[in-house]
């Protein structure tokens, strides 16, 4: 049996994320899918809550002293700097999920102190499973992935996230600055998938003015292990309060920090 405590947790996480994906798929495109609203343009479905409960219960059973932070149920257990914290988004891209669009995923990351130790992102409707462990690289369906080599603005596409947690003005300024400096942009509706696609070289960067830890805990490890430059997301109380995020190819870090840093609080 593996005695490495993080490897034991990663082994369990791989099983649990697959189970979570199967549970979510049972609701995906179901005509009876019950959806409620948490606020403006912020939906939640019965699947989000069911999948999170499944994950939280299974983790508590196997690792009762670990803390868990989930998008729907909040914090379980006590967050301490030296013990693992499971940071969970049962369905990231809920609006896409509720509309029957396949761009959603289950995201599970484990953080110790202010470092993401491993991350898993499963997009069941696309049959793509990203797994990364700090210092061990990143894979999609078992094959290594790496960020793109694009370093010029004129060939780069930056994926953006936006929510009503911040004024639209900052988001519109970001688009203006990117276009005025030869970058292209797009918006997917899932921060976790956005980071996974940076890791996979499908996008050359991801930026959002404010994002929650459950949207990015897994993606941060996945992007960093694939060679991305990643901002210091876990500074301050980001685990509970969120932060801005930038992840991109190393060559694009300086120009993107110059352009988008001023739009981020705290600065990138």
Give the shortest CB-125-to-ligand LIP separation in angstroms.
Answer: 14
Is there binding between residue 94 and ligand LIP (CB under 6 A)?
yes
Based on the shown chain and the rule CB under 6 A, indicate whether residue 117 belongs to the binding site for ligand LIP.
Answer: no
With CB under 6 A, what is the number of residues at the site for ligand LIP? 15
> Cα–Cα distance between 2 and 187 in angstroms, integer?
40
**Nearest of 212, 198, 223 to residue 166 by alpha carbon:** 212
Whichever of 48 and 225 has its CB closer to ligand LIP, that residue is 48
Closer to ligand LIP by Cβ: residue 124 or 161: 161
Residue 215 near ligand LIP by CB under 6 A: yes
E strands, 93-148, where? Answer: 105-112, 115-123, 128-133, 138-140, 143-144
Determine, following the binding rule CB under 6 A, whether residue 208 of this chain makes contact with ligand LIP.
Answer: yes
Nearest Cα to Cα of residue 208 among 143, 154, 159, 255: 159
72 part of the interface to ligand LIP, by CB under 6 A: no
**How would you class 51 by CB atoms within 10 Å of its CB: exposed for 0-12, middle for 13-18, buried for 19 or more?**
buried
Q: Which part of the chain contacts ligand LIP (CB under 6 A), choosing from 85-93, 134-142, 226-234, 250-258?
A: 85-93
SS3 per residue for 16-67? HHHHHHHHHHHHCCCCCCCEEECCCCCEEEHHHHHHHHHHHHHHHHHCCCCE
Q: What binding mask, one character per residue, do residues 152-191 give for ligand LIP by CB under 6 A, x or -?
A: ---------xxx--------------------------xx
Q: Assess whether the previous peptide bond of 66 is cis (omega < 30° from 0).
A: no
Question: Residue 211 or 246: which CB sits closer to ligand LIP?
Answer: 211
CA 190 – CA 238 distance, rounded (Å): 18
Closer CB to ligand LIP, residue 63 or residue 246?
246
119 near ligand LIP (CB under 6 A): no
Asked if 71 touches ligand LIP (CB under 6 A), the answer is yes
Binding region for ligand LIP (CB under 6 A): 71, 89, 92-95, 161-163, 190-192, 208, 211, 215
């Amino acid at each position: 049996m593996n005695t490495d405590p993080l490897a034991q947790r990663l082994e369990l996480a791989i099983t649990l994320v697959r189970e979570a994906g199967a549970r979510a798929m049972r609701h995906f495109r179901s005509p009876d899918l019950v959806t409620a609203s948490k606020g403006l343009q912020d939906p939640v479905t019965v699947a989000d809550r069911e999948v999170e409960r499944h994950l939280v219960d299974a983790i508590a059973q196997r690792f009762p002293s670990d803390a868990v932070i989930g998008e729907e149920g909040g914090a379980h257990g006590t967050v301490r700097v030296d013990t693992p914290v499971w940071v969970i988004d049962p369905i990231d891209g809920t609006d896409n999920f509720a509309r029957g669009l396949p761009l959603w995923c289950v995201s599970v990351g484990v953080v110790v102190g202010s470092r993401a130790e491993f991350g898993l992102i499963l997009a069941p409707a696309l049959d793509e499973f990203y797994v990364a462990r700090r210092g061990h690289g990143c894979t999609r369906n078992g094959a290594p992935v790496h960020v793109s080599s694009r370093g010029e603005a004129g060939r780069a596409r930056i994926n953006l996230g936006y929510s009503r947690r911040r004024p639209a003005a900052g988001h519109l300024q970001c688009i203006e600055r990117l276009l005025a400096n030869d970058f292209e942009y797009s918006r997917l509706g899932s921060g976790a998938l956005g980071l996974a696609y940076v890791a996979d070289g499908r996008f050359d960067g991801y930026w959002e003015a404010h994002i929650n830890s459950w949207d990015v805990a897994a993606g941060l490890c996945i992007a960093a292990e694939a060679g991305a430059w990643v901002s210091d997301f876990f500074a301050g109380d980001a685990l509970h309060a969120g932060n801005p995020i930038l992840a991109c190819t190393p060559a694009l870090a300086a120009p993107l920090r110059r352009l988008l840093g001023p739009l981020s609080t705290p600065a990138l």
